[in-house]
Structures are given as C-alpha cells and as structure tokens.
Chains A and B, each alone.
Chain A
Amino acid sequence: MNAAFLKKSLRLLAELGVLLALYLLGGLLAGWLDWPIPGGVIGMALLLMVFATGWVKPATLQLGAGLLMAEMLLFFIPALMSLLDYGTLLRDEGWRILLVIGVSTLLVMLVTAFTVEWVCRWSMRHDA
C-alpha cells in the first residue's frame, strides 16, 4: 500500500465523516425543534450555509459527496427487497400499478418539458 493511496483513503473517510456528522446534526436539530423535516435535508441546508459563507469550498467535499451520489443505487437496493413481502399484492395489482406508473411518468415528462420550453421561449422573446 503506497502513501498516496493511504492519504486518499483517509481523505475520503474524513469527508464521509463530515457528511455523516451533518446528517446526524440535522437529525438532532429536527428533534429539538420538533420539525417534521428529515435530518438529511437539514444537514444539506447547513452545508449550503457553510458554502455560502465561503469557509469551505464544495471541492473540499467532492470525493466523499461524489462517491455517495455515484453509488446511491447500492443504498437503495435493500428497500427493493421489500418485494419479498409484497409478492401477492404485486401478483394481484402488478399490471395496474405498472400502468399507473407508466402513464403518469409520460404525463410528468410532457408537462415538465413543455412548461420549461414555453417559459424559456417566452423569456427569450421578451429579452430580445
């Protein structure tokens, strides 16, 4: 194991530690203030405030934040295994559920894309 690798690993662990600490702090704050907001969201707001003060640059946390976001699927696969308990439900309602998801997703994409496109075209016309 060379020194550069060791240094990078320690750096990564430190960055992950900071993100974890902000998450836990967010959870504590939510508990104290009795806010119905997840700890992660409060932690994110705290981090944005820290960025806004300019003390810490986002690049400082790039390694840890990048890893968490890149491997997000791993953290979400366990929840998919709840299918083990919902086998009958999905056999009974599976096709109808897929139909809802498919139609609704198409609709969301159409509404979002055309809203953004129209507002952009409108503001381009009015800026010119």
Chain B
Amino acid sequence: MTLEPMSLFWLALTVLAYLGSRWLYRRTGRYLLSPLILAPVVLLAVAVPLHTAYAEYARNTHWLMAVLGPVTVAFAVPIWQQRALLARHWPALGLGMLFGSAASIGSSWALAHALSLDSAVSLSLLPRSITTPFAMPLAQDLGGVPELTAVFVMFTGVLGAMFGGVLLKYLPLRTPLARGALFGVGAHGAGVSRAHEVGGEEGSVAGLVMVLTGLLNLFAAPLLSALL
C-alpha cells in the first residue's frame, strides 16, 4: 500500500476541523460554530479552491463513515436503558413516530414534485428526517444518493433544532413526551442535543424516539419502494 500524502491530509484536516469546531462550540455555545456547520464549511473552504473532487477527498476518509455501522450497534444501549419509558408510553410514541414519519416522507415527496426537483434529489430527500446511520442505507434502498441524503439530513438537523426551540415557545404542549418526540422525530441528533437542553426527560424521549424512528423507516423501505 502506498501512502498518499494528499488523502491523508484530508483525513487529518477532517478530524482537526471536527475537534476544533467542537472545542469552539463548547466554549462559546454559538450554534454557527457547531461541528455540524463549521467543520464542513472549513473543509469546503480548503477543498473548493484546490479543485478537489469528492472521490479524492473520500479516498482516506471513507472509513470514518464506515464507523456509522458500529454506531448503529451502540444505539442498543439507549434503547435498552429507556425500555421502561417505551413500555409505558408505546401507544403515544408509536403513533407519533408513525404519523411524523408519514408526514416527513409524504410532504417531502409532494413538495419535491410540486417544485419539480431532479428525481435523484427527490428520492434522496425522502429519508432526510432520520439519523444518518439509518438515512444513508435507506437512501440506497430507495434509489437515491446516500451522500446527498447526508447533506439533507444535516440541513434538517440545523433547521429543525432552530424551529423546535421556537415551536416549543408557542405550542401548548404540556407533556415532556410530546416536547421530546418533536425533536427526536423532526431533527434527529441535532434535535436530541437541543431536547437535552430543554430537560432530562425530553432528552431521553428524543434519543429513544430518534433511534426507533430510524428503524421504523428502514423497515418501511420495501413498502415505500413499492409505492414509488
């Protein structure tokens, strides 16, 4: 195996941009400095002037994405720890996830068609409200582009974390369950961190619901493919 300095450079820069923005975000608490936004902006700011293609960037960074597989396995821990919550409230959470997912997929599909978006883009938009480790394989199943889906998942997280805070102020939601589910179904990981800032129970609900919504969508994929 030959070492390619340029592709190792991208791996190092990716990790540095991530650690740097995480440090800045923790120090300042400013959302624009979070790794979700600042890290890709820094990487793009270096890659675009160098005319780097994605394939070149991905040569040594793709294995970072491969870690999303073990991350999925790790989701078993929060599911198991929150099983009492699920056992007590499964009708409410189950229906919320079901209707929320239907609203997500249905409205993405309808809006994408109404605005006549490219078909690869439309298909990649469908799984965008679930967490990346589930959204990327689902995009593959549906015939979309997994990487494009990851980009849309990111925008969903950023917008969702913002909208969620505003919605909580105006909606008459009395239960922590509803407030947590709003973030977990609507804005996956970014929403879960916001939900933890709202309250402990909201955070646990959001985390649980995020993983279960991902599973629900993944298992609904064959049905969805048949409909499309």
Contact = CB atoms under 8 A, between A and B. Distances in A.
Interface in A29-58: 36-41, 43-45, 47-48, 51, 58
24 contacts: A22-B73, A36-B141, A47-B73, A51-B76, A65-B74, A74-B15, A74-B18, A74-B64, A76-B68, A78-B61, A78-B64, A80-B40, A80-B43, A82-B150, A83-B151, A96-B115, A100-B108, A100-B117, A101-B125, A105-B163, A106-B163, A109-B163, A112-B100, A116-B181
B159 A119 contact: no
A29 B58 CA distance: 28
B218 interface: yes
Given A78-B64, A78-B65, A97-B152, A41 B18 contact: no
Interface residues of B, number: 102
A72 B69 contact: no
A38 to B, nearest CB: 4
Interface string B46-84: 011000111101100110110111111111111111000
Contacts of A37: 218
Contacts of A62: 77
Contact of B133 (A36, A40, A58, A85): A40
A74 B75 CA distance: 17
A45 B193 CA distance: 25
Interface string B134-168: 10110001000111101111111001100110010
A106 B129 CA distance: 11
B53 A84 contact: yes
Contact of B76 (A38, A48, A110, A123): A48
A98 B158 CA distance: 11
B173 A82 contact: no
B69 A23 contact: yes
Given A105-B187, A111-B99, 5 more contacts: A38-B218, A64-B74, A77-B64, A78-B62, A104-B128
